[in-house]
Chains A and B, each alone.
Chain A
Amino acid sequence: MKTNSFAPRFAAIAVAVALAGCATAPQPGVQYVNPGAPGGVSGTGIESQDIGAAAQKAAVSILALPAIANATNPPTILITPVTNRSASPVDTDLYTTKLRGILMQYSSNKVRFLARDASWNTNNYEQQLRKEGVVQPGAARNAATYDYILTAELRGISEASNRGRSEYFLVAFKLVDMNDILLWEDQYEIKKQGHDSSIYR
Chain B
Amino acid sequence: MIGFRGTALALAAALTVFLTGCATEGPLSASGRPISKATLDAAHQRVEQENIPPNLQPFYFSIYSEGRENQCLYEMRGGLEALRSGELDRAEQLLQRACEDVDSLMAGAEEARRAQGKFTKEQEKWFKGENYERSALFMYRGLIYLIRHDFGNAAACFKRAQLYDITGDDEPGFAGDWYSAEWALALASLKQGFTTDADAALKRAATFGSRQGDVPPPGADCNLLVVVEAGEGPIKYRVGKYGERMRYREVPCPITRVEILQNNQTLDASAAAESLWFQAITRGKRVVDSILNGKAEFKEGTGIAAMGLGAGALIAAQHNNGIAAGVLGGLAIISAGLSAATTPQADIRTWNNLPHSLFFLCLSLPPGESSLSVMGQNAYGSVIRVQELKPVIQKNDPLQVVFVRF
Tell which of A11, A84, A158, A201 touches B14, judged by Cβ atoms closer than 8 Å: A11
Q: Does A109 contact B (CB under 8 A)?
A: no
The secondary-structure label for the interface of chain A is: mixed
Contacts of A45 in B (CB 8 A): 103
Given contacts A10-B334, A17-B337, contact A92 B159 (CB under 8 A): no
Tell which of B6, B125, B284, B337 touches A18, judged by Cβ atoms closer than 8 Å: B337
Number of contact residues on B: which range applies?
A: 35 or more
Q: Does A80 contact B (CB under 8 A)?
A: no
Number of A-B residue pairs having CB atoms within 8 Å of each other in the complex = 173
Whether the Cβ atoms of B2 and A10 lie closer than 8 Å is no
Contacts of B109 in A (CB 8 A): 197
1/0 contact trace for B319-353 toward A, CB 8 Å? 00011011101100110110011000000000000
Bound Cα distance from A13 to B284, whole angstroms? 43
Bound Cα distance from A88 to B152, whole angstroms? 10
Bound Cα distance from A5 to B330, whole angstroms? 11
Whether the Cβ atoms of B106 and A7 lie closer than 8 Å is no
Given contacts A2-B322, A3-B322, A41-B106, contact A11 B170 (CB under 8 A): no
Whether the Cβ atoms of B141 and A89 lie closer than 8 Å is yes
Whether the Cβ atoms of B341 and A18 lie closer than 8 Å is yes
Bound Cα distance from A150 to B324, whole angstroms? 84
Q: Does B300 contact A (CB under 8 A)?
A: no
Q: Which residues of A contact B (CB under 8 A)?
A: 2-11, 14-15, 17-19, 21-22, 25-26, 39-45, 83-90, 92, 158, 160-162, 164-165, 194-201
**Could you pull out 30 A-B pairs where Cβ atoms are within 8 angstroms?**
A2-B323, A5-B326, A7-B330, A7-B333, A10-B14, A10-B333, A11-B13, A11-B14, A14-B337, A17-B341, A18-B341, A21-B21, A21-B341, A41-B104, A42-B104, A84-B153, A87-B159, A89-B141, A89-B145, A89-B160, A92-B153, A158-B159, A161-B166, A161-B174, A162-B287, A196-B112, A197-B113, A197-B116, A199-B287, A200-B125
Q: For the A-B complex with A3-B323, A25-B39 known, give 11 more contacts whose Cβ atoms are closer than 8 Å.
A: A4-B3, A11-B333, A14-B333, A19-B22, A89-B141, A89-B156, A160-B163, A161-B174, A162-B167, A198-B291, A201-B286
